[in-house]
A and B are shown apart, each in its own frame.
Chain A
Amino acid sequence: MFIQGLANFIDDFLGGLMLISYALIVGSLIWAGWILRIWDRSAAGNGAPEPVVAVCVRLLKGGAITLAAMQGTKLLIKGMLLAATLGDFPLEAYFGTVQFIAGLLRLVLSCGFIYLAGRLSASPYDRSAWNTAAFLTVPLVISGAWLVHGVGRFEHREQLMLMTVIHQLAAAVWFGGVAQLLFLWHSRRAEQAAHKFWPLAITRFGWLGAASVLLLVSTGLPLAVEYIGSLDGLFGTGYGSLVATKVALMGGALYFAYRNHKAGKEWKKRGASADLTGKVPYFIEAETFVLVSVLFVAATLSSQPPSVDIKDTTATVSEVAYMFSPRLPKVSSPTHEQLLAGEAGRVAVVDKVPSVAATEWSDYNHNISGIFLTGMCLVAMLSYTGRFRWARYWPVGFIGLSIFLFFRSDAETWPLGPIGFWESTFGNGEVFQHRIATLLAFLLGVLELRARTRPDAHRLRYMFPVLSAFGGILLLTHSHAEFELKSEYLIQSTHTAMGLLAVVVASGRWLELRLATAPVSSQGAAGRFDTGQVAGFLSILAMFVIGNFLMFYREPLY
């Protein structure tokens, strides 16, 4: 059970990285054909200049190397997990699984892409290398069909596999294109050609992005209907709630895409647009945050049973709503002795007895953490007024929170409990994730405190949104053991909502910092506030809502 939790978490994480690298490969090739028009070497000059193609190749190579590394690691980890879980290692049976064969095929294909990208690095217009890469993309895309839920269904199997592959392809085109835009923007200082090509890339990608979104929706909708099947299934299961989260995140990404497209249209119409260089690059960076989160959510979906298969353990909408309803926070905790007394019954397989003390212990942990976070956000809001200099020190709260979490998160482990620190950290998936969250809170506090109080800490400022995004991904991929699906889900529902908000915190703060460096002409004041300030306030507001969720948290007794 414990190693499974840890392995599934690592598995989901690797899965997210694999989806990202897959998108970089596929997206780069579509980008090369559609945006850079590398096959068009006519005198009309529609094709991109060599330095711009070189940027595309670098990203293609990066994606291929990452996919090979992740796929290889995943196959290895699966083997180790098998050996640890089964007590022996049926090598032959493992090598015969579809998972292994399809994974190995992807590993071989990604090695092929590494080789081709190497050739293209030396000669960016090598037509035969581009052609071979395009053909290798076909089996790469198709092999994904054997790594999705659809393959195991008893009905509409082929249709579901096909639909999922198209869905993944559309996502890859969108994310790969956004990543290409990001790299193109960041190489503009070194390359004049990249700077010149920038507006053209934005306008060309507008239509490609729109087409991929259309494809995403038209394939995602029937998949959702097939796998979720009801409103309770959407909000009352892990699978459904992650789909809802994906949709919400995509809405955010679409907003950024719309703003970029609008700026591109303005440039096309007038031949100039302040937003195109003043805002669009930063919107693309924020969009990347969101899309990376979407891909991690998509990877986590693969480890969740479809809602239609767990109707008996699906929570109702009202049960989920109750988890979020405001109530007085719990400010008293059971003693450590009371907690440990109920642990044997709580973790028993046959004579399981739910532990009231464990539930109250957890409620207290979450509620106090919520009070910490809500208080910090209120002080943070004061700091934005500019009148209270001491309010700049609000990140100290994160350090306090991390110390609290270290002692309280897992009471059965060191320093309070009998299980050793290393044994519990690497032997139990939940404890491992809690330890990461604790470290994350500590780092957030230390780094953001330095960033807010030292004017010269320019680069340090960006650590907060990066770590917030990582924290959001951690929450979205947070896994508990699967013995009580409904209770586990009710807990997970709050984590998922907080993960979604953490992505808003990250994107908002990132935009605030980045837009502060943009030229004043492109700030586009909206009343008294500019776009960056609005984004910054939204970021704090999202963190405030997370604090509220934690403050009102009530764990189901199970």
Chain B
Amino acid sequence: MSLHAIKPFGKPLRIIALSLLALSSEAWSHAVVTESSLTSHPVKPNQPTKVVLFFNSGVELALSRVFLVSKGDVFHPVNIAKGKKAGEMLVDIPPLEPGDYALKYKVFAADGHFTENVIRFRVDNP
């Protein structure tokens, strides 16, 4: 194939290449929680807490949901926000009575896979 043949396609190719590069700013793949602040900072009873979830990669916040699950598997939706670093998610936990709870998250990664998982935790008496 001669270089001469490429010439007419120079502009479209540049546009395609730039479009592809523009995709690279905010992209993530299959997301799992690698760590959470629940380990180092357990939730204290009867006070609101911000739990930090550290994902192995970022998630699409607008397409993700986190639920607080209380005894009897009652689901309460909670607010989520982007953390300071890439891959961090902040979860607002309301004041909780001592007992067993879980966070159930459904996150959408840029590779199109939903990851659904559960993090169990306990709120102890002070």
Interface positions of A (Cβ within 8 A of B): 1, 4, 7-8, 11, 33, 39, 74, 78, 81-82, 85-86, 90, 93-94, 97-99, 101-103, 105, 127, 131-132, 134-135, 138-139, 142-143, 145-154, 302-306, 309-310, 348-352, 481-483
Is B1 a contact of A93 with CB atoms below 8 Å? no
What residues on B are CB-neighbors of A304 within 8 Å?
30
Is B1 a contact of A98 with CB atoms below 8 Å? no
Nearest Cβ on chain B to A513's Cβ, whole angstroms = 38
Is B13 a contact of A302 with CB atoms below 8 Å? no
Give the contacts of B41-85 with A (CB-CB under 8 A): 56-58, 60, 62-63, 65, 69-73
Which single residue of chain B is at the shortest CB-CB distance from A347? B73
Pick from B26, B63, B70, B100: contact of A86, CB under 8 Å: B63
What residues on B are CB-neighbors of A81 within 8 Å?
114
What residues on A are CB-neighbors of B120 within 8 Å?
349-350, 352
Is A82 a contact of B57 with CB atoms below 8 Å? no
Pick from B9, B56, B60, B101: contact of A135, CB under 8 Å: B9
Pick from B101, B109, B116, B118: contact of A152, CB under 8 Å: B109
Is B73 a contact of A348 with CB atoms below 8 Å? yes
What residues on A are CB-neighbors of B12 within 8 Å?
135
C-alpha spacing A97/B62, complex, angstroms: 10
Is A142 a contact of B20 with CB atoms below 8 Å? yes
What residues on B are CB-neighbors of A348 within 8 Å?
73
Is A85 a contact of B27 with CB atoms below 8 Å? no
Nearest Cβ on chain A to B1's Cβ, whole angstroms = 5
What residues on A are CB-neighbors of B72 within 8 Å?
350
With an 8 A cutoff between CB atoms, is B98 at the interface? no
What residues on B are CB-neighbors of A90 within 8 Å?
62-63
What residues on B are CB-neighbors of A98 within 8 Å?
23, 26-28, 110
What residues on A are CB-neighbors of B60 within 8 Å?
93, 97
Is B1 a contact of A152 with CB atoms below 8 Å? no
Is A350 a contact of B69 with CB atoms below 8 Å? yes
What residues on B are CB-neighbors of A352 within 8 Å?
120
Is B110 a contact of A152 with CB atoms below 8 Å? yes
Is B70 a contact of A350 with CB atoms below 8 Å? yes
With an 8 A cutoff between CB atoms, is B94 at the interface? no
Give the residue among A304, A351, A481 with the most B Cβ atoms within 10 A: A351
What residues on A are CB-neighbors of B113 within 8 Å?
8, 11, 302-303
Q: How many residues does chain B have at the interface if contact means C-beta atoms less than 8 Å apart?
A: 51
Nearest Cβ on chain B to A310's Cβ, whole angstroms = 6
Is A152 a contact of B63 with CB atoms below 8 Å? no
C-alpha spacing A82/B110, complex, angstroms: 13
C-alpha spacing A348/B33, complex, angstroms: 20
What residues on A are CB-neighbors of B57 within 8 Å?
152-154
Q: A142-B20, A350-B69 are in contact. Are A152 and B117 (CB under 8 A)?
A: no
**A interface secondary structure, majority:** helix
Is B1 a contact of A39 with CB atoms below 8 Å? yes
Is A349 a contact of B73 with CB atoms below 8 Å? yes
Interface positions of B (Cβ within 8 A of A): 1, 5-6, 9, 12-13, 16-17, 19-20, 23-24, 26-32, 34, 56-58, 60, 62-63, 65, 69-73, 86-87, 100-102, 104, 106, 108-118, 120
Is A151 a contact of B16 with CB atoms below 8 Å? no
Is B111 a contact of A147 with CB atoms below 8 Å? yes
Q: A39-B1, A350-B73 are in contact. Are A483 and B30 (CB under 8 A)?
A: no
Nearest Cβ on chain B to A169's Cβ, whole angstroms = 15
Which single residue of chain B is at the shortest CB-CB distance from A87? B65
Is A135 a contact of B13 with CB atoms below 8 Å? yes
Is B23 a contact of A101 with CB atoms below 8 Å? yes
Pick from B63, B65, B69, B114: contact of A97, CB under 8 Å: B63
What residues on A are CB-neighbors of B28 within 8 Å?
98, 151-152
What residues on A are CB-neighbors of B112 within 8 Å?
11, 74, 78, 97, 99, 103, 147
Q: A105-B19, A131-B1, A152-B30 are in contact. Are A305 and B56 (CB under 8 A)?
A: yes
Which single residue of chain A is at the shortest CB-CB distance from B56? A309
C-alpha spacing A74/B110, complex, angstroms: 14
Is B100 a contact of A149 with CB atoms below 8 Å? no
Q: A138-B13, A139-B20, A350-B73 are in contact. Are A99 and B118 (CB under 8 A)?
A: no
Contacts A152-B110, A152-B111 known; 15 new A-B pairs at CB < 8 A: A1-B116, A74-B112, A82-B63, A85-B65, A102-B23, A105-B19, A131-B1, A135-B13, A142-B20, A152-B28, A152-B29, A302-B113, A350-B70, A482-B115, A483-B117
What residues on A are CB-neighbors of B118 within 8 Å?
349, 483
Between A and B, 27 residue pairs with Cβ closer than 8 Å are: A4-B114, A7-B114, A33-B1, A74-B112, A90-B62, A93-B60, A93-B63, A98-B23, A98-B26, A98-B28, A127-B5, A132-B9, A135-B6, A143-B20, A146-B24, A148-B111, A152-B29, A152-B57, A152-B58, A153-B29, A302-B29, A302-B30, A302-B113, A303-B30, A303-B113, A309-B56, A351-B71
What residues on B are CB-neighbors of A481 within 8 Å?
116
Is A309 a contact of B34 with CB atoms below 8 Å? yes
What residues on B are CB-neighbors of A102 within 8 Å?
23
Nearest Cβ on chain B to A558's Cβ, whole angstroms = 12
Is B102 a contact of A349 with CB atoms below 8 Å? yes
Is B110 a contact of A97 with CB atoms below 8 Å? yes
Give the residue among B12, B71, B113 with the most A Cβ atoms within 10 A: B113
Nearest 6 CB-CB pairings of A with B? A152-B57, A152-B29, A93-B62, A309-B56, A152-B28, A98-B27
Nearest Cβ on chain A to B116's Cβ, whole angstroms = 5
What residues on B are CB-neighbors of A143 within 8 Å?
20
C-alpha spacing A469/B1, complex, angstroms: 40
Is A305 a contact of B116 with CB atoms below 8 Å? no
What residues on B are CB-neighbors of A482 within 8 Å?
115-117
Nearest Cβ on chain B to A307's Cβ, whole angstroms = 11
Nearest Cβ on chain B to A226's Cβ, whole angstroms = 13
Pick from B32, B71, B108: contact of A310, CB under 8 Å: B32
C-alpha spacing A150/B114, complex, angstroms: 17
Which single residue of chain B is at the shortest CB-CB distance from A310? B32
Q: A148-B29, A153-B57, A481-B116 are in contact. Are A302 and B111 (CB under 8 A)?
A: yes
Nearest Cβ on chain B to A164's Cβ, whole angstroms = 10
Nearest Cβ on chain A to B71's Cβ, whole angstroms = 6
Is B1 a contact of A134 with CB atoms below 8 Å? yes
